[in-house]
Amino acid sequence: MHYQEERNYGCRVSDSWMYRGLKTVIMENELIRIVILADKGADIYQFVYKKTDTDFLWRSPWGVRDPSAFIPTTGDGVGMWMDTYEGGWQTVLPGGGFPSVYGEADMGLHAEVNTLPWDCTIVEDSVERISVRFSVRTYRTPFFFEKVLTIEKSRPALFIEQTLINEGAEAVHCIWGEHIALGSPFLSDRCLIDLPGGKVINHPKEFHENNRLEPGAVTDWPMTRLRDGTDHNLSIVPGQDFFSYDQSYVTDMPAGWYGITNRDIGVGFGVAFSEIYKYLWYWQSLGGGTGYPWYGRTYNIGLEPFTSYTNEGLGTAVDNGTALLVQAGQEVKSSVTAVAYESLTGIEGVSQCGDINLKR
């Protein structure tokens, strides 16, 4: 039997928790608390800024479910993923977006690592610094994936170092993304999204009755167009009464970062990411997610760094030339940093070191 030092100060970590039947890892310091569902995709379920008791991450209406505790009533590639989608932050690999076929393998929604249990090992545990390694092997593709999550004393930042390895004997395509969903009460119509710039591409076709954006419109951030031709500023988050359900993609960003700031409570969430993520998916579920699976219950957005686009699955990304091709035996690395900050006006930058450049 293994026992850890049970500190109540500085950096703390424990992999001895179970939540709703799932092995769960808790990492924290004086400023932030991170909860990871090791048995369900190593999903980051909570990212809490302790000073204001703010959890930035959205939770789905049904919350955490144990995939092993029930039998799905459908084999549909969307429904099986949605059955256990708790919100929060998923690693998406090797197929991002809706179901598609790659080679002879069916790829369900956001397949496949975020529905699997991951191995986890605490690799550093001190007052000054904690690190946990999570790893998994895919089952319809030949990938091994590893990510190491780190928190340092007195810093409101989570550092993630990731490695993808193709263990097969042939080159294989993939989509790799960070599915980060943000929700209320942090999310409101007082939130401002800051980016370094880039090109906005709206989803190329209508896919929901409450789409309000002009399909396929290409503009410069932050402006886009609504279906009626009206200019629309994507950097200002609308309220739930905007009643929309849309998808946009930001590309050609001069640097890989974003921040979203709630100007009423003076708190924000910033993310910096490696150049491998060439697209920032912007999922807009602003009260208009009617029908299955939301039934009008959701107000949230996703700001999601991805290697590829659109959200129509791996097959589409291969066809449009944006899928990541990993050679046999090749290792591909990435870094992501997420940080809580305080501001009433927004930010001008986030570094991989977790430093925030505040607007003056």
At 207, the pLDDT band (50, 70, 90 cuts) reads very high
Residue 5 pLDDT greater than 90, yes or no? no
Name the nearest CA neighbour of 114 among 47, 8, 36, 166: 36
The average pLDDT across 317-333 equals 97
* pLDDT value, residue 357: 97
pTM for this one? 0.97
pLDDT > 90: percent of the chain: 93
pLDDT the model gives residue 314: 96
Predicted confidence (pLDDT) at residue 92 exceeds the cutoff of 60: yes
Residue 1 pLDDT greater than 60, yes or no: no
Q: CB 327: neighbour CB atoms within 10 A? A: 12
What's the pLDDT at 93? 97
> What pLDDT is stored for residue 81 in this prediction?
92
pLDDT the model gives residue 72: 84
pLDDT value at residue 178: 98
pLDDT confidence of residue 71: 85
Longest Cα–Cα distance of the chain, Å, equals 65
Nearest CA-CA partner of 304 in 49, 147, 110: 110
- Using alpha carbons, list the distances in angstroms from residue 253 to 269, 305, 322: 19, 11, 16
To the nearest whole percent, how much of the chain has pLDDT over 70?
99
pLDDT digits (tens, 9 = 90+) for 65-88: 998 888 888 888 899 899 999 999
For the chain, the structural domain boundaries read 12-358
pLDDT confidence of residue 2 = 62
User: Considering the chain, what is the average pLDDT of its residues?
Assistant: 96
Got the DSSP string for 236-304?
B---GGG-EEEEEEEE--SSSEEEEEETTTTEEEEEEE-TT--EEEEEEEEB---STTTTT--EEEEEE
Q: Determine the topology of domain 12-358 in CATH.
A: Beta-galactosidase; Chain A, domain 5 (2.70.98)
Section 9-34 average pLDDT: 97
Tens-digit pLDDT profile for residues 98-136: 999 998 899 999 989 999 999 999 999 999 999 999 999
State the Cα–Cα distance between residues 330 and 176, nearest whole angstrom. 15
Closest CA to 261 of 351, 344, 358: 344
Residue 321, helix vs strand vs coil? coil
CA distances (Å), origin 129, targets 5, 43, 132, 272:
14, 21, 11, 20
The tens digit of pLDDT for each residue in 245-277 reads 999 999 999 999 999 999 999 999 999 999 999
Q: What is the pLDDT of residues 130-164, one digit of tens each?
A: 999 999 999 999 999 999 999 999 999 999 999 99
Q: Is the dihedral of CA 64, 67, 72, 74 positive or negative?
A: positive
H or E segment to which residue 320 belongs: helix 314-320
Q: In Å, how far are 22, 179, 234, 350 from 200, measured between CA atoms?
A: 38, 18, 9, 20
Q: Where are the beta strands (DSSP E) in 290-360?
A: 299-306, 324-326, 331-342, 347-350, 356-358
- Higher-pLDDT residue of 25, 6: 25
Backbone angles phi, psi at 240, to 5 degrees: -65, -25
